[in-house]
Amino acid sequence: MGYLYSLINRENEKKFLGKSNLEKHVLKKLLYQALRKENHYNDLLQKDFKKYTFELEFQESNNVTKDFDSIIKEEELLNPIYGYNV
């Protein structure tokens, strides 16, 4: 079992989708720590994180990779108009 997590830009609803096997509280701490210290690998997300307010959501998954790929495709998160997964 793992987690899918979404960072959602409250201003424009763009989303970054990630996946992890870490516990929610550990993942949340590491994710926000990287973004606050400007160390996140995704430059587009990092730039917008400094400008806008984001909401973090978690979803449990029995098949993290399959669910991740499905959501990325369905929500077109590889398109920078809709998402940060570029």
Judge if pTM exceeds 0.85. yes
- Token reading at 37: 């210290």
Q: How many helices (H) and strands (E) does the chain have?
A: 3, 3
* Contact (Cβ atoms closer than 8 angstroms) between residue 60 and residue 1: yes
Cα–Cα dist 5/18, whole Å: 5
- The whole-number pLDDT of residue 1 equals 85
Q: In a structure prediction context, what are the per-residue pLDDT tens digits for the chain, which is 86 residues long?
A: 899 999 999 999 999 999 999 999 999 999 999 999 999 999 999 999 999 999 999 999 999 999 999 999 999 999 999 999 99
